[in-house]
Structure 1
């Protein structure tokens, strides 16, 4: 397990000790979720197999790693066993906040696809997924990732059910979908996740997401909650400024044509696998509004604006609607938008190393059981990585320019 670059070293012994302690802590945290000891023991073995080196986390491979004669115990844990996946989700949330909690954190919302054959797996349909870059047979999961200066990990999840499912009661019954589940758009699922984070008093100041989530109820919910956002919008999204000094009215792509080249500034969106991610940025504050317009408990002036990101390599443009306290510097908005990359990286690592997309169950409960256990494994190893790198820095201080960036590796805790 390599948790840092060649300029610093966390010893194998240190990493092993941290991992064993993290595993004991994770098992203790999740123990109350399962009730019966045999189910808790099976969940513990499942968690251990997710941390193994098997390239695929199929039922047979998990069973072999756990020393079981077949996959039935593993399948039973996910499908037949009666335990509350949402209670485990809350365990994951508390684990993430305990290790990475920060009042200035960013919640990033996004979706990922789970490729499937057939039509029986809950929520499967021919639909677009960025994972494949096309319309294909798949499930779609909406996720929220918690990103702070201390680390990052998945915080919440929801399985998207297309109308072809919610309009067909027999399909819902066959997949054991709870009776109270109704059709919900992806932005609605994300809004519900943010609501759960607020109810649990999760510390965060910002929300970031792509254009699927950039307009509508999600935006208004964040304004009412007093949370800033940087949310993607389409190039034809309409903006209207209320400033006395300048009047911008029109589509985002047309507004930026009226501004001089020197209005663009180059800033890094954060460190990536190949170093700093440099882009050109343009920020247009549109209106200063009172927070009290959206909530009786909020005060202060907030600014609605347009943020544009340009790739200096090919000129590709991305547009964002922003909401932030008046006077928020561009660098902060860039940091918030840059945090969105963490969830994409998280999907890749969770699938490649923790078997996020290796779920073989077909039911509603099976999907949520599997994904919640993977989220716990991910959060656990994210904390191990952070602790191991901090320990390496303590033992061998490095100049800031050579700080540990953590190359991608087995169980690198979901980061590069």
Structure 2
């Protein structure tokens, strides 16, 4: 990096911090927050209190710990500033909102929300915390814009344990889809430009989550389990994996769900318009993804959107769910999303928000324009039968 590059990089960072500086009412927490942000962006191996303090030239971690545990500042207000920054730098009318969760493996039982539970990050049951996140993705780039810490019932039903972790009395148990809907509600209320929502089957399999998207005029492509019931009007209901057995060979199209680390992510896809009542001008579909090398490996999606939406666009939206996985990996690797050593509920939100802010700066700096997919979609079928795209 040249001296001019460094000056440009620092000027951009100064502009970002100026947007949030007012959230830290006094000089000391403001200086600490800037040093913390710089440390998260620095080539520090473990971005915890000790190493961030060392990067800032401090003798010990007390100052960084005070920033997370005791100084007065509102992490949700900083989140709002972060969201506005992402919209300014990456916003696009065709943006996609992505919901997913990630695990943070922890020792002991005192960190807010920790218990033995499934971690998709580890792919098994671990002693961990689970955070539910919303990411924003467009042709210009992608970044995390909201977060919630999942609290299992083992926590919300234990007032003493909650008090020890500084969890407010107002916080009650909420399922992950409920938390996701709350985040999407405030995201849309803030005017974030987006037309689509995508999520894995933990959210897509919840009809209330899908209904939320439809009520807010949002298209979606969400994963559902293979056992998902698909209503076919007079024909009754059938499982998604049974329905796909009726697809003719010509229904399968080899298409890319977007570029991955090794090039285009190619799969075979089939698409059926479903005979369900919808708002005028809209349609619902069953989208199926099949491995090219292992034909018995399939993934199923429900989709909803404007009737003229192309097959290729639905495949593209389905593929964009991986963008949040890339955000998690980058934020954990580059900005220490999972490097924290805090137990308090509010401290978790503070570290996570600052790590997201640092990641958003990297995303805005590196924003590029990915290739778009094109395609066409057939005319509407009769309501009484499924119509496969062939």
TM-score by length of 2: 0.91
1:317 match: 298
1:405 match: none
- In structure 1, what is the Cα distance between the partners aligned to 2:293 and 2:259? 17
Deviations 1:82-111 (A, max 9, x none): 111100110110010001111111100000
Per the TM alignment, residue 249 of structure 1 is displaced from its structure 2 partner at its CA by 3.9
Contact 1:248/1:286, CA 8 A, preserved across alignment: no
- In structure 1, what is the Cα distance between the partners aligned to 2:131 and 2:100? 9
- In structure 1, what is the Cα distance between the partners aligned to 2:136 and 2:92? 10
1:123 match: 113
Per the TM alignment, residue 23 of structure 1 is displaced from its structure 2 partner at its CA by 0.9
Contact 2:252/2:269, CA 8 A, preserved across alignment: yes
Per the TM alignment, residue 287 of structure 1 is displaced from its structure 2 partner at its CA by 2.7
Instruction: Specify the SS of the correspondent of 2:172.
Output: coil
Unaligned ranges ≥5, structure 2: 372-390
Per the TM alignment, residue 30 of structure 1 is displaced from its structure 2 partner at its CA by 0.7
The alignment status of 1:148 with 2:138, answered yes or no, reads: yes
- In structure 1, what is the Cα distance between the partners aligned to 2:286 and 2:2? 48
2:199 match: 209
Contact 1:288/1:326, CA 8 A, preserved across alignment: no
Deviations 1:137-189 (A, max 9, x none): 00000000000001110010000000000010111111111221110000011
Instruction: Specify the SS of the correspondent of 1:267.
Output: strand
The alignment status of 1:373 with 2:354, answered yes or no, reads: yes
1:221 match: 212
1:274 match: 262
The alignment status of 1:260 with 2:251, answered yes or no, reads: no
2:324 match: 343
- In structure 2, what is the Cα distance between the partners aligned to 1:110 and 1:138? 16
Contact 1:249/1:255, CA 8 A, preserved across alignment: no
Instruction: Specify the SS of the correspondent of 1:128.
Output: strand
- In structure 1, what is the Cα distance between the partners aligned to 2:187 and 2:240? 31
Contact 1:19/1:381, CA 8 A, preserved across alignment: no
Greater relative contact order (Cα < 8 A, sep 6+):
1
Unaligned ranges ≥5, structure 1: 1-10, 292-299, 391-399, 401-416
1:88 match: 78
The alignment status of 1:286 with 2:283, answered yes or no, reads: no
- In structure 2, what is the Cα distance between the partners aligned to 1:130 and 1:198? 27
Deviations 1:185-209 (A, max 9, x none): 0001110111011110111000000
- In structure 2, what is the Cα distance between the partners aligned to 1:227 and 1:273? 29
Contact 1:288/1:301, CA 8 A, preserved across alignment: no
Instruction: Specify the SS of the correspondent of 1:312.
Output: coil
The alignment status of 1:327 with 2:327, answered yes or no, reads: no
Per the TM alignment, residue 76 of structure 1 is displaced from its structure 2 partner at its CA by 0.7
Contact 2:334/2:359, CA 8 A, preserved across alignment: no
TM-score by length of 1: 0.86
RMSD: 1.7
Deviations 1:221-262 (A, max 9, x none): 11100000011110010102349xxx6840000001011121
Per the TM alignment, residue 81 of structure 1 is displaced from its structure 2 partner at its CA by 1.1
1:414 match: none
- In structure 2, what is the Cα distance between the partners aligned to 1:56 and 1:28? 26
1:306 match: 286
Change (3 A) 1:312 1:74: same
Per the TM alignment, residue 301 of structure 1 is displaced from its structure 2 partner at its CA by 2.2
Per the TM alignment, residue 116 of structure 1 is displaced from its structure 2 partner at its CA by 0.3
Per the TM alignment, residue 353 of structure 1 is displaced from its structure 2 partner at its CA by 1.5
Instruction: Specify the SS of the correspondent of 2:314.
Output: helix
The alignment status of 1:364 with 2:355, answered yes or no, reads: no
Instruction: Specify the SS of the correspondent of 1:142.
Output: strand
From 216, 231, 237, the counterpart of 2:222: 231
Contact 2:278/2:284, CA 8 A, preserved across alignment: no
Contact 2:273/2:285, CA 8 A, preserved across alignment: yes
1:295 match: none
How many residues in Structure 1 have an aligned counterpart in Structure 2? 369
Contact 2:156/2:173, CA 8 A, preserved across alignment: yes
- In structure 2, what is the Cα distance between the partners aligned to 1:248 and 1:255? 12
- In structure 1, what is the Cα distance between the partners aligned to 2:115 and 2:47? 23
2:382 match: none
Contact 1:144/1:193, CA 8 A, preserved across alignment: yes
- In structure 2, what is the Cα distance between the partners aligned to 1:313 and 1:369? 44
2:385 match: none
1:107 match: 97
